[in-house]
Every structure is written in C-alpha cells, then in structure tokens.
Amino acid sequence: MTDFAATRALFDLPDGIAYLDGNSLGPLARAVPDRVARTMTREWGGDLIGAWNSAGWMDWPERLGDRIAPLIGAAPGTVTLGDTLSIKVHQALAAALSLTDRRVILSDTGNFPTDLYMAQGLVRTLDAGHALRVVAPEEVESHLSDDIAVLLLTEVDYRTGRRHDMARLGDRARRNGIITVWDLAHSAGALPVDVTACGADFAVGCTYKYLNSGPGGPAFLHVGPQIAHRIDPALPGWLGHAAPFDFDPQYRPAAAAKRFRIGTPPVLQMAALDAALDVWDIASIHDVRARSVDLSRRLIDGVGAACPALVLASPGDDAARGSQVSFRHPQGYAIMQALIADGVIGDFRAPDILRFGITPLYIGLAEIDRCVETLARIMDRGLWDDPAFRRRQAVT
C-alpha cells in the first residue's frame, strides 16, 4: 500500500495553501533543486561538453521514457521524450496518416484546442482530400467507420474530466482499420493506463502536470512496437537519425521510438523530471487512483451539500471521470479568484468552469475539506462579487 504521508513529504508546498491545481502544473518536488543544481554545477560546470557522455545526457530521452512507460502500460524502448506536447501530437498524427490511404481525422469537441490546431494545420499542408471531422464526445464511437484514417482523442477532457473508454474505442477503431493517437496529458500519473492492452498505436503526454517536471517540462511520445519500424518521421531531426554523429546528409531513421527524437534534449528540464519521478518508486498508480476517487467523491458530495448554486460539470460516475472535479457557475472566474485569494488554488476554464485537480501524492482530506468550507463561505457571503476578482488575468 502506498504511504501517502511519505509521498507528500517529497513535495515542497507553501504553508497555508491548499493546492488543487496540479492538473495544470505539479508542485516542486523537494529533490529537484539539488538534482538540477548538480546537473548545472558538477556536470555542465565540471565536465562541460563531456557531460553528454559522462553524465549520460544523450540517453536521457529514452531512459526517462522507460521510467514513464510503466505508468502508461508501455513496453521498454517504446517511449521517448523531448520537445513540447504540441510537437509530439503533430509527429504522431503525421506518422499515423503516413500509414494509411484514408484521409479523415476524427476527433471530438472535448479535445484540447492545441490538438485540434495541430490537426487543422496538418490538413492544410496536405492535399485537398484530407479533412478533420469533429463530433461530440459521446458520438465518437458511432462515427468510427471505414472512411476514418486516424482517431485523435484526449482520454480525459481537460475541462470536465470526462473520460473516454480507451479499451472500447481502441478495439472498435482497430476492427475498423483506424489508427489511434491518444493524448494522455490528464491521464499519465493520475490514473492507470495500459496502452499495450488497448492496442494504442500512438500516445503522447506532458510531464509538468501529474508527473511534476516543472513549467515547460518535456513531453513524451509512445509508438507501438508493431508499427514503429514502418514510419519515416515527418520531422526528421538529427538525433532521430540511426547514426547522428556520422552527420550523414541523408536521413536514416533510428530504431523504434528513438526515431521520433528531433533536436537536443532539454537537459535541465530532464534533470528535474528525473528527480520528480522518484515518487513513483514508493507510490502505486493503482493506489493513487483509488485515493483520487475517494477524495473526488468527498469534494463532489461536500460541494453538492454546501454550495447548491455550483453545478457539477464532471461525470457523477467515478469510473467515467479522470482525476479532476469541475463545477459550473456563471461567475466561475470571479469565484475562483476569490478562492485563490483565500489560499485554495484551483483554476478556471472558459466559459464557466471551476476546476480542481485531485492529486493524492500531496493532497488529502484536509485540502478537500478546506476547499468545500472556503467555497461555502464565498458563496454564502457573495465574496466573489468584487471588481478585483472579475478582472481577467492572462493565466487563471
């Protein structure tokens, strides 16, 4: 059993704060500053360029990929890191389209906008026959037909926490000859995922949310071993070459997922991620999920009883929800700003959603109960009705 008091002790959280926004940016793991400082002073400062070999920097994208792989049910050697999630979405989507003669990408209205932007941009660069088809989340399965090339979905909706059934949709897609690209930005480190059992062709995700790598942390990409050898990446970078230091002017892809490397890995960010992943040496993703469900239910029930004006936007069924709980209110933005001002940090998503990340590695009953009590006070007293709380900021 996971000792959640022990996992909490591995994070450095400010005093007096209930942090329920780890689904946007995970907190600082205590080991990160020393690990990054060591990379800067001993490795970069001491070994200079030699640290690429002596400190193993060159291999970090695959080594860290192998540390993330168990959290998403991936085999060793099938996950690589680097670049941003948007780039990884583009790589996966372009690779998927290269494997089929079909030309329609299917996604849903609950997908994160960047994923849709990547699809729109890719379609514009291809011939006129390619298209992006976007349907309501609950209609995805009925649109899985033999004219669909690629299914591009985020497993957990970033606004409401609604969860797609990866296994069912993956099986249906496979039987229709559809290639799957799954975005696990709100899944990896939050709930058990099994890309192997689901037959996922591609899966991508970020590391700065539930994996706590810090702002701008590198994204990951998983490519199914059954198809990796068939892909000539659309963004062929020199570190994805079979022999990058031969400086061959003609691209030859490296083996497996490594061919999806593009440029120089972000060493300092990878050092932070390496330290942050240590929590998974003592935590079970299954225990984390079970605890998340309990805490989410406590929040849903507490807000339902104390704040009837807040309408649950997340699925009521625990199995159909990721590790976040969202509520709707016409003044959601101002309410969230009032809540943050009182030391309870969640976030807002337009047009009217208050969103709370349930991250058992470092929050527990005390944070959930404080959130409910603070929300109740804000709603009862109308404390959100202040011009300062209505003034929109760039990051909310």
Q: Model-level pTM?
A: 0.96
Note whether 239 and 326 are same-domain residues. Answer: no
Q: What is the CATH number for 345? A: 3.90.1150.10
Note whether 8 and 59 are same-domain residues. Answer: no
CA-nearest of 380, 394, 373, 389 to 332 is 389
Q: Active site residue: 21, 108, 157, 183, which one?
A: 183
- Let me know if 183 is a catalytic residue: yes
Q: Active site residue: 19, 208, 220, 348, which one?
A: 208
| Total number of domains in the chain | 2
Note whether 203 and 330 are same-domain residues. Answer: no
- Let me know if 112 is a catalytic residue: yes
Q: DSSP 3-state assignment of 382? A: coil
Cα within 13 Å of Cα(339), Cβ side: 30
- Let me know if 11 is a catalytic residue: no
Q: Active site residue: 88, 159, 162, 209, which one?
A: 209
Question: In this model, does residue 396 exceed pLDDT 80?
Answer: no
Which of 281, 316, 349 is the last residue in one of the domains? 281
Note whether 273 and 138 are same-domain residues. Answer: yes
> What pLDDT, in 10s, does the model give residues 266-298?
999 999 999 999 999 999 999 999 999 999 999
Question: In this model, does residue 384 exceed pLDDT 70?
Answer: yes
Note whether 226 and 301 are same-domain residues. Answer: no
Which of 223, 249, 281 is the last residue in one of the domains? 281
Are 288 and 192 within 8 A, CB to CB? Answer: no
- Let me know if 146 is a catalytic residue: no
| Residue 396 counted as domain residue | no
pLDDT score, position 241: 96
Which of 223, 255, 281 is the last residue in one of the domains? 281
Read off the amino acid at residue 256. A
What is the Cα–Cα distance from 327 to 316, expressed in whole angstroms? 11
Range of the domain at 237: 32-281
Note whether 314 and 293 are same-domain residues. Answer: yes
Q: What is the CATH number for 199? A: 3.40.640.10
Q: Active site residue: 355, 356, 362, 389, which one?
A: 355
Q: Active site residue: 19, 112, 210, 260, which one?
A: 112
Note whether 277 and 291 are same-domain residues. Answer: no
- Let me know if 19 is a catalytic residue: no
> What pLDDT, in 10s, does the model give residues 144-203?
999 999 999 999 999 999 999 999 999 999 999 999 999 999 999 999 999 999 999 999
Distance of alpha carbon 41 from the chain centroid:
31
